[in-house]
């Protein structure tokens, strides 16, 4: 006798019973923990009003994951999912301690370190951003300085790419990194905002660019025998005729000056 073909309805019912049976099986705690680890904590975001405009801030249990200025919640969520491939939800407001810390940070007050979630970045990118965090308010550093400081002196272009990929601009101050000729360079929020933020912080970008056009790379202080990057301790804003405008490290050493221990100016060009 020829075997009868399986009835599609019977097969569907059998499959349904199998799925129901599977649904009653509890997953081992270790598996659940692994899933949580892979998925990561959920992200929330809220709008924070700042002097620069409406700042959309995403955060999770690790820290601030990304920010954007003056965009719509729809566009913010879409960009977040495209970049991070995980869900995000809007909440009414940031946790007050986080909101207060961000506002204090933007005012330049000492409010402790902000927590950041940089898991999506490669080790090189994280190294670049951690180094950018060391640049004091009111000062700038060239891209080449970052490259040298992280032990990759030939990776100047890659440093620029990493800074352009900064998920938390403003708070991780990639705006404080400029070209070696002290032109301010590109910025995710536009050059006009970069210039305005640097000016508000006291970096005086107009003075910097004027020095750069004149070929000045360092400023020397004969009174303490050192030479510095122009913004170190606000040297470029000092109306001091004793300061030396130096065009190269060779010129600085010929003047008997040693590199500053604070800004570590050597070998950036």
Active site residues: 174
Could you tell me which of 28, 237, 22 has the C-alpha nearest to residue 139? 237
């Amino acid at each position: 006798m020829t075997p009868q073909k399986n009835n599609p309805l019977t097969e569907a019912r059998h499959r349904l019973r199998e799925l129901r049976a599977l649904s009653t099986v509890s997953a081992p705690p270790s598996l659940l923990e692994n899933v949580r680890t892979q998925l990561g904590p959920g992200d929330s975001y809220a709008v924070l009003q700042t002097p620069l405009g409406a700042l959309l801030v995403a955060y999770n249990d690790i820290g601030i994951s990304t920010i954007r200025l003056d965009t719509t919640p729809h566009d913010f969520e879409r960009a977040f999912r495209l970049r991070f491939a995980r869900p995000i939800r809007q909440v009414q407001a940031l946790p007050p301690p986080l909101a207060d810390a961000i506002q204090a940070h933007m005012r330049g007050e000492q409010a402790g370190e902000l927590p950041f979630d940089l898991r999506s970045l490669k080790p090189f990118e994280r190294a670049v951003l951690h180094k950018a965090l060391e640049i004091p308010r009111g000062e700038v550093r060239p891209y080449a300085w970052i490259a040298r400081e992280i032990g990759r002196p030939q990776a100047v272009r890659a440093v620029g790419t990493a800074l352009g990929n900064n998920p938390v601009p403003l708070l991780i101050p990639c705006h404080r990194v400029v070209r070696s000729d002290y032109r301010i360079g590109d910025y995710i929020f536009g050059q006009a905002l970069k210039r305005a933020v640097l000016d508000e912080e006291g970096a005086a970008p107009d003075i910097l660019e004027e020095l750069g056009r004149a070929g000045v790379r360092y400023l020397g202080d004969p009174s303490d025998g050192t030479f510095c990057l122009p913004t170190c301790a606000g040297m470029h804003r000092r109306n001091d005729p004793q300061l030396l405008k130096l065009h190269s490290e060779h010129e600085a050493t010929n003047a008997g000056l040693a590199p500053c221990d604070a800004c570590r100016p050597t070998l950036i060009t």
